[in-house]
């Protein structure tokens, strides 16, 4: 009976048509606890001492069962935290608190501000993955940006991700594919646009009333739409940039593709960058709610990026500090971003990892004093 009342309360709290409706259960322990007992195994799968293979196989089975049980538990965060406005978690952006609308060139610009693709001569390919243990969220994606090969100076990019959260509950899944173009207008202004296809589904029969129209909606996808983003970036000299960008400007009318607008101001040098951003979400909460984001980055010894940032979201009323690290070579990079919510009843941790390859399309590598900007 207590469980039923808990599910009804969660349903009532998330029943607004502009919010992501699903239950927010309490944290539950894994169904199969795993404890460390006895000395560590000193032999492999069936090699060496007799019985080692059986013990190792048993340990692997227990670990696999525990992992499966953990995924089967419902998420412990709110739906708004888990979905995070549908943002694609890029390691550099996550590490800088999300403040990258002015300085985010390379593949991050496809998902943030497409105008920035035209601000650096790059040909970059990226594979990324992210995970949140509390939201049980996973994201996997690929992206490519080319601002080098087109003789008309038009930059282009493609990106696609697949994500899911709460596989033990509503099991929401979505596919997000984007294509972007950007054009520099002189030396100080760039304009860009992104076309976006978004499709989202969730499991049936997981609402508080079982399989029903009220709990699950219809049998088709929650959303299957095409929308677009648009952005502009102004360069004030070699170091200062100002940007404005809008997302989902066709107004799909759902929190799965909320209308958002953002502005950013950044300062960058070959070794140091700092940016502050502000954004408004006009859809998720039924009225405009703001986010403030700030972050900084230090590029050391021509190879090592260290990042830190902070984000405050007025919708969820959560402060989220973040850190990021990266090793950046003239040919490739590996980067990590981490974020954790503070002072929250449903705190979430997010980690994201990416591997990028820098194709030298013109047969020339950036010099050390250019590397920080060209390769980020």
For 116-133, what is the mean pLDDT? 95
Nearest to 97 by CA among 327, 367, 295, 343: 295
Tell whether 191 and 273 lie within a shared domain: yes
208 or 300: which leads in pLDDT: 300
Residue 49 has pLDDT above 50, yes or no: no
Q: Are residues 134 and 216 in the same domain?
A: yes
The Cα–Cα gap between 356 and 370 comes to: 18
Same domain (yes/no): 151, 122: yes
Q: What whole-number distance in Å separates Cα of residue 157 and Cα of residue 145?
A: 4
Q: Is the pLDDT of residue 95 over 90?
A: yes
Identify the residue with better confidence: 298 or 63. 298
Contacts 24+ apart (CB under 8 A), 10-13: 10/208, 11/207, 11/208, 11/209, 11/215
Q: Please state which of the ranges 35-49, 119-133, 148-162, 220-234 shows the lowest mean pLDDT.
A: 35-49
Give the pLDDT band (50/70/90) at residue 83.
very high
Write down the number of H helices and E strands in the chain: 7, 14
Q: Average pLDDT for residues 306-332, to the nearest whole number?
A: 96
Residue 31 CA to residue 38 CA, distance in Å, equals 22
Quick count: other Cβ atoms within 10 Å of Cβ 360? 12
CB atoms closer than 10 angstroms to residue 1: 5
Q: Are residues 158 and 28 in the same domain?
A: no
Q: Is the domain of 207 the same as that of 319?
A: yes
- Give the separation between CA 135 and CA 190, rounded to whole angstroms: 37
Domain span at residue 43?
2-72
Using 50, 70 and 90 to split pLDDT, how confident is the model at 38?
very low
Q: Specify the pLDDT at position 243.
A: 98
215 pLDDT band (50/70/90 cuts)?
low
pLDDT value at 252 more than 50: yes
Instruction: State percent of the chain over pLDDT 70.
Output: 72
Q: How confident is the model at residue 217 (pLDDT cuts 50, 70, 90)?
A: low
What is the pLDDT at residue 209? 60
Cβ atoms 182, 118 nearer than 8 A = yes
| Structure token pair of residue 179 | 């294509």
Question: What tokens appear for 187 in the block?
Answer: 């030396």
Provide the pLDDT for residue 148: 86
pLDDT at 151: 72
Q: Which pLDDT does position 149 carry in this prediction?
A: 77
Greater confidence, 9 or 215? 215
- What is the mean predicted confidence (pLDDT) over 332-340? 97
Please tell me whether residues 253 and 366 are part of one structural domain: yes
Q: Does 258 lie in the same domain as 169?
A: yes
The answer to whether residue 119 scores a pLDDT higher than 70 is yes
CB 265 within 8 A of CB 242: yes
Two structure tokens written together for 90 = 């890029």
Same domain, 269 and 334: yes
345 pLDDT tier (thresholds 50, 70, 90): confident
CATH number of the domain where residue 323 is located: 2.40.160.60
Last residue of a domain, one of 72, 91, 123: 72
What 8-state DSSP symbol labels residue 252?
Answer: -
**Band of the pLDDT at 72, cuts 50, 70, 90?**
low
- Tell me: do 100 and 196 sit in the same domain: yes
- pLDDT of the residue at 19: 45
- Give the model confidence (pLDDT) of 153-163 as tens digits: 899 999 999 99
Residue 7 has pLDDT above 60, yes or no: no
Do 44 and 105 share a domain, yes or no? no
Please give the pLDDT value at position 367.
42
Per-residue pLDDT at 22 exceeds 90: no
- Whether residue 170 sits in one domain with residue 47: no
Question: Average pLDDT of 216-233?
Answer: 87
Where among 19, 38, 72 does a domain terminate? 72
Helices (H), the chain: 2-13, 52-72, 79-83, 91-95, 108-111, 213-216, 368-374
Q: Do residues 114 and 180 touch, judged by C-beta distance below 8 A?
A: yes
Domains in the chain, number = 2
Residue 89: pLDDT band by 50, 70, 90 thresholds? Answer: very high
Domain boundary, last residue among 21, 48, 72: 72
Average pLDDT, the chain: 81
185 Cβ contact partners less than 8 Å away, ≥ 6 residues apart: 191
The predicted-structure confidence for 178-187, as pLDDT tens digits, reads as follows 999 999 998 8
- Per DSSP, the residues of 49-101 read STTHHHHHHHHHHHHHHHHHHHHHSPPSS-HHHHHGGG----HHHHHTTT--T
Is residue 68 located within the same domain as residue 90? Answer: no
pLDDT at position 17, please?
40
> Taking 80 as the threshold, does the pLDDT of residue 171 lie above it?
yes
Say whether pLDDT at 219 is over 50. Answer: yes
Token digits for 347?
Answer: 């705190």
Q: Which two tokens stand for residue 258?
A: 């909320």
Tokens of 205: 């029969």
| Mean pLDDT, residues 69-90 | 85
Longest dimension (CA), the chain: 74
Does residue 56 surpass a pLDDT of 90?
no
């Amino acid at each position: 009976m207590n469980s039923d009342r808990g599910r009804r309360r969660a349903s009532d709290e998330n029943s607004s048509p502009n919010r992501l409706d699903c239950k927010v259960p309490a944290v539950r322990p894994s169904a199969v606890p795993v404890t460390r007992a006895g000395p560590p195994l000193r032999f492999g799968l069936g090699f060496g001492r007799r019985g080692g293979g059986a013990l190792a196989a048993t340990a692997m089975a227990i670990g696999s069962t525990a992992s499966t049980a953990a995924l089967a538990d419902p998420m412990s965060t709110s739906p708004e935290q888990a979905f995070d406005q549908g943002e694609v978690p890029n390691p550099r952006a996550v590490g800088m608190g999300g403040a990258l609308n002015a300085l985010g060139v390379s593949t991050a610009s496809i998902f943030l501000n497409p105008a920035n693709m035209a601000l650096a001569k790059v040909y970059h390919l990226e594979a990324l993955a992210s995970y949140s243990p509390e939201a049980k969220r996973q994201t996997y994606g690929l992206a490519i940006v080319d601002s080098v090969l087109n003789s008309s100076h038009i930059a282009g990019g493609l990106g696609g991700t697949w994500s899911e959260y709460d596989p033990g509950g509503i099991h929401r899944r979505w596919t997000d594919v984007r294509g972007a173009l950007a054009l520099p207008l002189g030396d100080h202004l760039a304009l860009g646009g992104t076309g976006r296809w978004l499709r989202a589904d969730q499991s049936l029969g997981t609402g508080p009333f079982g399989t029903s129209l009220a709990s699950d909606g219809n049998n088709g996808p929650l959303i299957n739409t095409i929308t677009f983003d648009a952005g502009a970036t102004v360069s004030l000299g070699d170091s200062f940039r100002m940007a404005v960008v809008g997302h989902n400007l066709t107004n799909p009318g759902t929190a799965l593709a909320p209308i958002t607008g953002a502005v950013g101001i950044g300062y960058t040098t070959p070794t140091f960058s700092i940016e502050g951003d502000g954004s408004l979400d006009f859809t998720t909460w039924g009225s405009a709610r703001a986010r403030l984001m700030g972050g900084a980055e230090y590029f050391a010894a021509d190879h090592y990026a260290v990042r830190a940032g902070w984000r405050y979201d007025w919708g969820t009323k959560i402060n989220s500090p973040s850190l990021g690290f990266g090793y950046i070579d003239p040919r490739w990079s590996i980067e990590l971003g981490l974020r954790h919510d503070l002072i929250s009843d449903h705190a979430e941790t997010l980690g994201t990892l990416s591997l990028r390859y820098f194709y030298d399309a013109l047969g020339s590598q950036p010099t050390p004093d250019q590397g920080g900007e060209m390769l980020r």
